[in-house]
Chain A
């Protein structure tokens, strides 16, 4: 056990969490489909949510306790403090998407903190790639932002109707300016999901790189004093990462709610 624990750092690169690794691949319609560690983590996150969240709904009585109470308080916070100020009377129609977004991103962020591959290695002695931070993968985050983008505009079109939505897409400007302002607004609308993507991806990626770099000091200096300090620094950085995991899930959800509010209730 100790031997395998000692071999842990040497055998496993701490940067692996943010690197895409192929778990297995298969042929589909003549092209090779790769199943990566981040896809596995996305699936694991979805599975966890699908199992854990319905469990909190069990039990009799109106007041939930323990984990159920935590989930309910979080849902209430997202509905009343994030969604309602922007969506107003339309909150209940759209809050489901925001709840899903928040819990999914939070689960992926937190799963990224779990050294799953290292734990499997300690148990089985087999080097493996089952683990990693899926939200430190720009494609995963971009898919989430694409979903948010589609939901924002579909919500706007559903609430206002297509004609009115297109008319209200820009603020009131003199008519010769309108085509130009439409062009700017369309570019702006396309940039919004990009900014969502970069914000979440960069924060998660940077956090994991920071922890990996701190671990590297042990390998570079190879003495107990630096190792002790490094472990303390890694603990501190990991605590910061926990905060970032919650904060970034909140910000992603918050900005989605803001953009959705702008689409549903045009101020101009």
Chain B
């Protein structure tokens, strides 16, 4: 039979596991969010490209701004 001390340790471990799963589940919708924000930035870049006639450069700028911004935002939120 396990001692009460061991039981408490097990309970603590279970609780920590559950917390880890929960904090992980918060990121379940993050993939779509990440892609969608980049897609919206790309779209704005594309439209500006059409307006100014600057080729693919503003679209590329939109992509990189969106990408770097989302990585930065997720890094800040996960801290």
Give A residues with C-beta under 8 Å from B.
Answer: 85-86, 171-173, 180-181, 184-185, 187-188, 191-192, 194-196, 198-199, 251, 254-255, 258, 262, 267-268
Query: A253 → chain B, closest Cβ, in Å?
Result: 12
Per the bound structure, the CA–CA distance linking A254 and B40 in Å amounts to 26
Q: With A196-B29, A198-B32, A258-B26 as known contacts, state yes or no: A184 contacts B37, CB within 8 Å.
A: yes
Q: Is the CB of A188 within 8 A of B73?
A: yes
Among candidates A173, A191, A254, A267, residue contacting B33 with C-beta atoms closer than 8 Å: A191
Q: Are A195 and B76 in contact (CB under 8 A)?
A: no
Give chain B's interface residue range (CB within 8 Å of chain A).
10 to 19
Which B residues are CB-close (under 8 A) to A262? 26
> Does B25 count as interface, using CB distance less than 8 angstroms?
yes
Residues of chain B within 8 A of A199, CB atoms compared = 29, 32
The answer to whether B76 touches A185 (Cβ under 8 A) is no
- Is B77's CB under 8 angstroms from A195's CB? no
The CA of A58 and the CA of B25, in the complex, are separated in Å by: 37
A-B contact count (CB 8 A): 52
Q: Is the CB of A192 within 8 A of B33?
A: yes
Main secondary structure of the interface of A (DSSP, over half): helix
Residue contact A184 to B70, C-beta cutoff 8 Å: yes
Chain A contacts for B53, CB-based, 8 A: none
Q: Among A86, A171, A187, A255, which residue has its beta carbon within 8 angstroms of that of B77?
A: A171
Is B28's beta carbon under 8 Å from chain A?
yes
The 6 closest A-B pairs by CB, nearest first: A195-B32, A171-B76, A191-B36, A195-B29, A184-B69, A191-B33
Bound-state CA distance A267–B76 (Å) is: 11
Interface residues of B (CB under 8 A from A): 22, 25-26, 28-29, 32-33, 36-37, 40, 66, 69-70, 72-73, 76-77, 79
Note all chain B residues with C-beta closer than 8 A to A267: 77
Contact residues in A for B32 (Cβ distance below 8 Å): 191, 194-195, 198-199
Chain B residues contacting A172 (CB-CB under 8 Å) are 76
**Known contacts A173-B76, A187-B40, A268-B76; is-contact A85 B22 (Cβ 8 Å):** yes
| Whole-angstrom CA separation of A251 from B29 in the bound complex | 10
Give the shortest distance, in Å, between B19 (CB) and chain A (any CB). 8
Task: Name the residue on B nearest A254 (C-beta).
Answer: B25
A184, B77: Cα distance in complex, Å: 13
Known: A172-B76, A181-B69. 19 other contacts (CB 8 A): A85-B22, A86-B22, A171-B79, A184-B37, A184-B69, A187-B36, A187-B40, A188-B73, A191-B32, A191-B36, A194-B32, A195-B36, A199-B29, A199-B32, A251-B28, A255-B28, A267-B77, A268-B76, A268-B77
Q: Which residue of chain A has its CB nearest to the CB of B35? A: A191
